[in-house]
Structure 1
């Protein structure tokens, strides 16, 4: 009985998240009200407030779940090869850019002017976390390859790289984007290793 109720709750929340994304893209975050969400999703306000305190909590839930999936996709290459040689990695060895295209209803929101608060900053924060906690580089040439300033350089660079791609309406194929990012990452070191798996 509980499992059925849990599935029903998750379906309701997923409908609200999808509706919220659609409305933010159409109207901008500041213009979306709880009233709009429940009317579009065909729920009542009581149902909404059972699950969320307001649209701010719904936004946090949406971003949190998306960043879990983004991390999963971004870390796939080192999960399959705990010591990864980027010079041998093929563009089809990473699915993260295809994942972004497949979920553009979320990623388009990141470059909006009237966007969800912190949506862009949390993508950057997720990249910083990945390079601090999930992935590490191996280099004889740069002993400080995993120091904070290298982590910030990679994180800001990749975040900007993704944002420009989205702003330009995904003008390069996911495979081409993967090829470019592989080239960018192995400038200082060709070896990347997994620090830890999913927690």
Structure 2
């Protein structure tokens, strides 16, 4: 049986989610800085009193929204090695690498980066989240035999993942999610050759 407290919590979560979704839709129509609280409550079909019961201002709504997105990103990143002591890269499969499914689950949010910056500063927060996950969760990440710097290698990987995602978004998700996942696994397992054939230029 659902208690009154649980029902209230659900109502609060639903109200917040509705206002966040309204804000995302507004970003398809207006620049971030031009969106007002009035715009949000009008789009979500609430009043200003309801808004201020949950948020101090637009920025606190955005903070809540981004926190939720990055929390889900963290869960999807950790999924392949959840409850494990080792992560074996060459044994990864499309069934346990789910970061692109995270993008699809939040497609209305991520589509904002197709033609514009979306929410200012989110790209940096996304990349920093990946960097911190690498640092906190994975030991001996870089190839020590080659005297590679962990910090630089992790940064390279994090920006690379963001680049794949942005390219996918800008292509209107033309590549199936399973293919994107398999390509990422191949990239993670790729060992660069010692020399490259150059084209004429």
Is TM > 0.5 for Structure 1 vs Structure 2?
Answer: yes
Contact 2:142 2:148 in 1 (8 A): no
Shift of 1:138: 7.2
Q: Secondary structure at the match of 1:127?
A: helix
Distance in 2, Cα, partners of 1:165 & 1:177: 8
Partner in structure 1 of residue 168 of structure 2: 165
Partner in structure 1 of residue 14 of structure 2: 11
Partner in structure 2 of residue 39 of structure 1: 42
Against the structure 1 CA distance between its residues 140 and 148, is the aligned structure 2 distance closer, same or farther, given a 3 Å change threshold? Answer: closer
Partner in structure 2 of residue 22 of structure 1: 25
Shift of 1:111: 3.8
- Aligned pair count? 188
More strand by share: 1
What is the 5 A alignment of 1:72-151?
A: 72-79=75-82, 81-113=84-116, 115-136=118-139, 137=141, 139=143, 141-142=145-146, 144=148, 147-151=150-154
Can you give the 5+ residue segments of structure 2 that lack an aligned partner in the other structure? 192-201
Mean alpha-carbon deviation: is it higher for 57-66 or for 24-33?
24-33
TM-score (norm 2): 0.83
Contact 1:16 1:37 in 2 (8 A): yes
Shift of 1:139: 4.8
TM-score (norm 1): 0.84
Can you give the 5+ residue segments of structure 1 that lack an aligned partner in the other structure? 189-199
Distance in 1, Cα, partners of 2:117 & 2:32: 6
Larger gyration radius, structure 1 or structure 2: 2
Shift of 1:13: 0.8
Distance in 1, Cα, partners of 2:70 & 2:98: 15
Shift of 1:143: 5.2
Contact 1:110 1:120 in 2 (8 A): no
Against the structure 1 CA distance between its residues 187 and 80, is the aligned structure 2 distance closer, same or farther, given a 3 Å change threshold? Answer: farther
